[in-house]
Each structure stands twice: as C-alpha cells, then as structure tokens.
Chains A and B, each alone.
Chain A
Amino acid sequence: MTVALKLAGIRKSFDGAIALDGADFAARAGEVHALLGENGAGKSSLMNVAAGLYAPDAGIIVIEGQPVSLSGPAEARRRSIGMVHQHFKLVKPFTVAENILLANRRSRYRSGIEEIRAAIRRQADELGFDIDPARRVETLSLAEQQYVEIVKVLIGGVRILILDEPTAVLTDSEAERLLETIGRLARTGTAVVLVTHKLHEVKRCANAVTIMRSGRTVARLDPRTATAAELTVLTVGQTVRLPPRAERGYGETRLKVGALTCARVDGRIAVSDLSLFVRSGEIYGVAGVSGNGQAELAEALIGARKPLSGQIWIEGAGDVVENSSRRVASLAAIPADRYAHALAGSLSIAENFAVANIRSSRYGSTALIDRAAMRRDAAEAVIAFDVQGVRSVNQRAALLSGGNAQKLVIAREFSRQPAVVVAHSPSRGLDARACAAVHERLIAARDRGAGVLLISEDLDEILALSDRIGVMTRGRIAAEFERPADRQAIGRAMVDHA
C-alpha cells in the first residue's frame, strides 16, 4: 500500500500558544487510520493543516509522493484531501444537492444540479444509505447531515478523507453504521483518517493508529496487537489516581427535582417529567449518551433556562424556579460551557471572582463598590485553588487556559459554601492534571456535606466519582444504580433506551 498522506515535523502556534510541536503522521491508501489523543492534544489542528485550513509554521506535507504547500482548503480539495469537520459546514436552508453543488462548482446551475443529484444517488448507493437530494439540510438529523458532508467531499473526487470526531454527535447505532461505511470506503482504496478519542472505535475499525499528546506524535502502532491499557497510557501520559472514598452515610436531602419538563430552543421537549434527589454527602451522577436532555437539565438547574413546568427545590432556598437570587446564594454552578454561563472573558479575574458575592456588603455598598476588596479576595482564591498563569488579578479572564479558567469558576462558586453543587461536564477540555484537581474539589465539597449533582457524558468520570448513578435517556432518568455500579449494566441502560 502506498503512503497517501504524510505530515512531518509540523509546527503551528497561535499567537504564542503552541498547538503543534513537531507532529508526524502518515496514512496509507486503503486503510482506516485512527488519530487518537485527549482533548487539546492537537489532533484537529494537525488535520486542519492537512486540509489546508491552517498554514503550518514549519514542516512538510507530502500528498501521494509529492511535497506540497497548501494555499487553502480549495487547493487541498484539488489535491484530493477532504475533511468533514466536527461542526458541519453546511448551509442549513439549502437542499442537500445545493450544498453539494456549492462545494463542487459546475458551470451552469440547472445542468449542474441535475448532475449533482445523479452523483448523490450513485454515491449513496455505493455507501449503502439513503439521502434525498431535494431535502433541506435543516430538516435532516445530525447523522444524515454527516452523510451529506461525506458525500460532499467524495463527489469532489477525494482520495484522502479526514473525519474529525465523527461519532461525537451520533447515537450508538448510528455510530456503528458510520464505522461500517468507513470500512467499506477504505476497501475501495480511499485513505480514511478517523480523528477520535474513543478507544473502542480504534480497536473496532482502525488498521493503524497514531497517538498524539500535547502537540506531538507519541506513538504509531497496530491497534490489533496493542492492548487497551497500552493505548490509554500512551494517550493520557500519566495515570491519575483519585483518593479513596471514606465510607459513611448520607445526610438529608439537599436538592430535589420534581417532574421537571424543559424544551429546547426549537420547542422540542428535551427534559420530560424528570425527578431526582441528591442528599448531603452524596455525588449523584447523571450518565447518558449526549443529546438526551443533559444540557437542558443542567441549564434549568443553574438558571440559564426556564423550565416549562416542575420544581427545583434547594435546601435553605426553597423552590428556586422563580427566584434566581436565592438560587445564587445556595447553589454552586459549574456549567459545561464556561464562556457562555460562567465567565466573562473580556472582564478581569477579580471582577469574575467577585460578581457572585456582589450583593453582600463584602464588596462595598450599592453606591460605592470596593474594588480593592475584590482584588484581595480574588488574589487569595487564585492561590488557594491553584489557578495558574495569573500575573495579575486585573488581567482578562479569557487569557486563562481551559483548566485554569475552570479552577477560577470553582473557586468562585465554592466561596459561598454552597448546599448544592451542579457540575456539567466539569472536566471537558481539561488535561489530566487539571481534571484531577477538579475532581478533588467535587469530592471535597461532598465530604464537607454538600449535595453534588454531576452530569457528564464521560462514563469513566461518572463511575469514578458517583455514589449513585442515574442513566438519562430521552429526557428522563431511565435507570438508577448504587455504587459500586456495574459498568456493563450502565452501558446497556444508556443504549437500550436510546
């Protein structure tokens, strides 16, 4: 088999932040080549270089034996590299055929669209799925949109196909089908690069795997001979151990959610009649395949989304659906999207720290706020919670890295000794060390007597931390498990109802 795509010594930095530091990669024609690594390891950046989206600072790109320098995605396409991005690049109000025509220009619209329609049908038949070229993209499911993306690049005559986290948005059965399709494609001679952080996908369908860690390539091996443990060690670097749980009972109920129903922005019901409770000294984990209403549940709990009906009761604050100021006093919110709901990137660290307690007299009166007190407290918290990369508490919060920004959020939220903690994917996008620090804080809050609700799509995180686990499917808790929980059983519950 010939080497279809080779990247050697690729470096790329963004205004001083190094994303790629001498990364190497090579994929052969006819193989599914997995690119494995944690969030932020540089997988997407490296593939964006291959797809002509980023210009590398240094390094060589060789396509089918020819060293090239790509001026942009259009040239990459001409050189038969196509990439399906994690966030689809489709024009939603356009039909499938129009979207594909947009990426594969024809000289005339009318004859072009006919040509494209025929090509879509041919391509879809070959791959074994069904797509109506006349449907508008916004009416398609995420899985169907992904097929449109794949067909779009294949019709352009692509021989090197890069898929960036293609299964992240899919249900298990959809992911299964996609992986089969990918295998079929590879057998026709296409080089498929599968960017992923899921080990089982690598084991299941890849012929080769390259592992990246902090911008570098650390290994290239055969997934059939490597064990899952080996792959994990190579991906994570060091194994991080959590402190063992002290055995003791639970206290009184701290958070009670009753018959909660929430809608998505588009009006579809996302959380349906959901009830749960969390006691003092307990971590309740909500597991599930993403997209089953976890995001909406978290947003309703932290006050970012108004539920259609139901109660959210918090010890000491009462029903907080209608009263958000009481909620703020007794609930610590660690949302999944820090820059949407927890931090104002353009404001200073001190301001971001103080805002939650601004109503108390601690930071001055209504007429005159006390900025010196804000800075003092923020500086103390920065040290206590080990927030790194802080030269001054006057610097903008956006300059903090993901892990340190999360530590700042936690420092602020825990400064009030909250009765309840709601954390949604608290370690998303963090490296192993920052992730461990976040987990320690959650455990410390529980040991202090808070009730912790942990919502996460990462089953390992749920299993490591939770005392009780609820599996969320289709907007409700479908099954509950006590610790120690059987991973297989939880996995089945997640998939069975999905």
Chain B
Amino acid sequence: MLDPGAMAGQEKSPPARGPPRRRFGRLTLDMRQRLSPWKQSGFLAGSLVIGLALSLGVLALAGIAPRTLAEELAGTLNADSLRAVLVQAAPLILVGLGASLAFRIGFWNLGLEGQMIFGGIAATGVSLYAVGPVSMRLIIMGLAAAAGGLLWVLLAISLKIRFRVNEIIATLLLNYVATYFLFHLLYGAWQDSKTAFPQSTPLRPFERLPDIAPGINSGLAIAIAMVVLAGWLVHLSRVGFYMRFLSANPGMAKVLGVPIQAVTIGAVAASGAAAGLSGFINIAGQEGRLTQSFFNGYVFSGVLIAFLSRNDPVIVTIVGFLVAVLYVTGQTLQVFYQIPFTMVQLIQAIIVIAVASSEFFIRHRISWTH
C-alpha cells in the first residue's frame, strides 16, 4: 500500500559543508489514500477542459478559428442537426455498451468493428436470402446481427481460454480478417449488380428500421432498451455482482467460488452482441445496405465512451450523445472546411489522454517543498 517513491531533487547538492540549500525546492510524489468524489469529479472536469482547449488549439492550427467552431456548434442546435445527433448516438451507445461490458471484467475487446461487420453481414444475409416471413424479417435481422457479433468475439475468447492468446491482439487483428471478408463479399457474391459499386443491393422498405419520430429511426429505441438491460445486469443482478469481483480481484473471486469462466464468457458474448446490433442499426437505419465503411472509427469511439463513462451503462448513454455531437460537428466541418475525418479521431484521442492523466492526479499527490 504505502510504496511511494519520493523523487527528483531539482539540483545537485553542493559538496560544501553544512546543510545544502536548494534553490528550486523539491518535488514530492505521494500516494493518496482517499479523495472525495467531489474532488475526483473536479479533477476529471479539469482534465476535460484541458483536453477540449488542446483540441481547439489543434483545430485552430487546421484553420478553423474558435469563433467559427462556436458558430458551427451552435448550428448543431437546429432541428436537423439534432435529429442527426440522435440517429448517430444509437450505434455509438451500443459500441460503448459493448466495450464497457467487456472492459468491466478486464477483457480488452478491441474487435468491436469486426463484430459490427459480422453483425452487418448476418443482417444483410437474412435480407438477401429472404429468411423468415416479411412481418418477422426485421426482428430476425436484428437477432442474426447480435448472433454474428457474438460468434465473432467468441472466436477471440476461445483463443484466449484454449491457447492463452492475448485478447488485445486477437480481437484487434480479427478486425482485419472481418474487413477483408466483408470486401470479399462486396466485391464478389453480394455486389450490387445494378450499380456495380462495392455494396449490397438495397434493403427492402420493410427491412429498414421504422422511424419513431420524423427523421429519427428506431435504432435509438433499441440502444436505450439495451442500456436498460445492461444497467440491470451490471447494477442489480447477481451476475453484475460477480463481475465486480472478477475485475477487482480475480484471485479472490476464484477462492470464493465465483463462476469465473461462465461470467467471463457471458460478459464477452454480450459485448460482441451489442457491437453486432450496432452494425445492424447502421445498416438497417442509416445506410440502407451493406457498405464497405459503415463501421469505420467505431472501435476507437467505443473504447472512448466506455473509458469516459467508467464502464457504467447509464453514463455510456450520456457520453454516447456527446460523442455523437462530435461526429455530427465533425461531418459538417468535413463538408464545409475540408477537415479530414481523422481530425475527429484526433480530438477523441486528445480527450482520452487528458482523462487518463487525470487518473494520475486522483491517485497521487504532488507537493512542492522548499
């Protein structure tokens, strides 16, 4: 517990007699034992402000003055943009949920994009082969998508359990396998014969998510339902209780008879299924067909959302909306100011780093003594 290193004098002490004088004082690093939740939130908010300020600086360097940005952000408040944010939030909330469920038990699922791809492929397959009656088609597509994501992540976890393959590597690299399998389909058997573009034939109208309000498809409703389900699982159910112990102290969980394997596989499977559903929402909600880019950037956003929300499903919803605002603003900037999409990812990265460093200040105290 108490293992702080007191470090770093700022100058070499002179060899002269008597106690050496220090011109610059001394930096001391201590472990904190406790910090009130208020102060913790203070550090978190402070780091967010710093992250946003840095992002503003980067955007200014890219030629977007803070004033222009403010105008664009204010522009997001109009009805059209707000609708775009609500539509964009649904897949983001679901990948965030997927990431947080796996991270909760210490499984670093970086394969969210691969799982989205297989969710999208499974849903599109149901449409192409006209599986089931028309009235049930959309539900079957959704279930197929969840199953697709689930099976794809099961590959990674069975590699981990059977052969101890690190899941960070396995899930991340399986993204590429999934991407190229998708390309194989889109440039081959599933290519739209009418347009000859690398995308599938469009979904039929009854295979697309109906609107719950004008311009807002029911993807958001699905996402919220999943948030409620995950919130129950994590906070109220016995499985959620086990998950807390599994991540807090696996050695203890083993001794106390927590069904480690079952809980791990269950949480990871749920994570994959959520990502698969996210793919389904992008296909059946926004794109209307299987495209070669409907998953781009989501792994990073999912990790960001889970990280900022400390893996809490309820907070995932809030952060998901904020990231959606970033996406929509980013799209506007892309169109009107020729800013690349990577700029949105850069801003996400800056915020992640800022929040990650706040953790250091929450755990340590730095004091300056003379």
Contact = CB atoms under 8 A, between A and B. Distances in A.
5 contacts: A71-B9, A303-B255, A344-B248, A345-B248, A399-B33
Nearest to B238: A366
Contacts of A359: 257
A68 B13 contact: yes
Contacts of A16: 33
A242 B295 CA distance: 68
Contacts of B12: 71, 75
A178 interface: no
Contacts of A355: 241, 245, 256, 258
A340 B251 contact: yes
Interface string A271-314: 00000000000000000000000000000001110000000000
Contacts of A340: 249, 251-252
Contacts of A364: 238
B252 A343 contact: yes
Interface string B207-248: 000000000000000000000000000001111111011001
B205 interface: no
Interface string A316-345: 000000001101100001010001111111
B5 interface: yes
A375 B8 CA distance: 44
Interface in B1-27: 1-2, 4-9, 12-13, 17-20, 22, 26
Q: Quick one: which of B6, B28, B245, B258 has the most chain A CB within 10 A?
A: B6
Contacts of A69: 13, 19-20, 22
Contacts of A366: 237-239
A341 B31 contact: no
Interface of B: 1-2, 4-9, 12-13, 17-20, 22, 26, 28, 30-34, 236-242, 244-245, 248-249, 251-252, 254-258, 365, 369
A15 B29 CA distance: 11
A341 B254 CA distance: 8
Contact of B254 (A67, A75, A303, A351): A303
B30 A14 contact: yes
Contacts of A385: none
Given A54-B4, A328-B255, 6 more contacts: A14-B31, A53-B6, A75-B13, A341-B252, A358-B241, A368-B236
A398 interface: yes
A347 B254 contact: no
B238 A346 contact: no
Contacts of A333: 255
A347 B245 contact: yes
A55 B252 contact: no
A344 B13 contact: no
Contacts of B256: 328, 355-356
- Name the 4 nearest CB pairs between A and B, nearest first: A71-B9, A344-B248, A328-B257, A55-B6
A67 B21 CA distance: 11
A264 to B, nearest CB: 16
Contact of A17 (B20, B33, B241, B258): B33
A16 B365 CA distance: 12
Nearest to B22: A69
A168 interface: no
B254 A304 contact: yes
A19 interface: yes
Interface bin, chain A: 35 or more
Given A14-B2, A341-B255, A55 B26 contact: yes
A345 B7 CA distance: 27
A237 interface: no
B255 A304 contact: yes
Contacts of A54: 4, 6
Interface string A356-374: 1011000011111100000
A39 to B, nearest CB: 13
A327 B244 contact: no
A66 B17 contact: yes
B184 to A, nearest CB: 43
Contacts of A328: 255-257
A126 B165 CA distance: 50
A365 B239 CA distance: 11
Contacts of B241: 351, 355, 358, 369
A15 B31 contact: yes
Contacts of B251: 304, 340-341
A72 interface: yes
B17 A14 contact: no
Interface of A: 14-17, 19, 53-55, 66-69, 71-72, 75, 302-304, 324-325, 327-328, 333, 335, 339-347, 351, 355-356, 358-359, 364-369, 396, 398-399
Contacts of B13: 68-69, 71, 75
A55 B26 CA distance: 9
A68 B8 contact: no
Contacts of A53: 5-6
A396 B249 CA distance: 13
B351 to A, nearest CB: 24
Nearest to A364: B238
Contacts of A345: 248-249
Contact of B255 (A14, A19, A335, A367): A335
Contacts of A351: 241, 244-245
Nearest to A335: B255
Nearest to A61: B19
Contacts of A369: 236-238, 240-241
Contacts of B19: 67-69
B156 to A, nearest CB: 25
Contacts of B30: 14-15
A356 B241 CA distance: 12
Contacts of A304: 251, 254-255
A203 B31 CA distance: 37
B332 to A, nearest CB: 42
Contacts of B257: 303, 324-325, 327-328, 359
Contact of B249 (A75, A343, A367): A343
Q: Quick one: which of B245, B248, B369 has the most chain A CB within 10 A?
A: B248
Q: Quick one: which of A17, A72, A344 has the most chain B CB within 10 A?
A: A344
B28 A55 contact: yes
A16 B254 CA distance: 34
Contacts of A75: 9, 12-13
B248 A346 contact: yes
Given A302-B255, A356-B256, A347 B244 contact: yes
Nearest to A67: B19
Contact of B26 (A66, A71, A335): A71
Nearest to A412: B256
Contact of A368 (B6, B237, B254): B237
Contacts of B20: 68-69
A362 to B, nearest CB: 12
A340 B365 CA distance: 26
B248 A347 contact: yes
A385 B240 CA distance: 28
Contacts of A72: 6-9
Contacts of A324: 254, 257
A399 B12 CA distance: 38
A19 B155 CA distance: 51
A119 B257 CA distance: 54
A351 B1 CA distance: 21
A373 to B, nearest CB: 13
Contacts of B252: 340-344
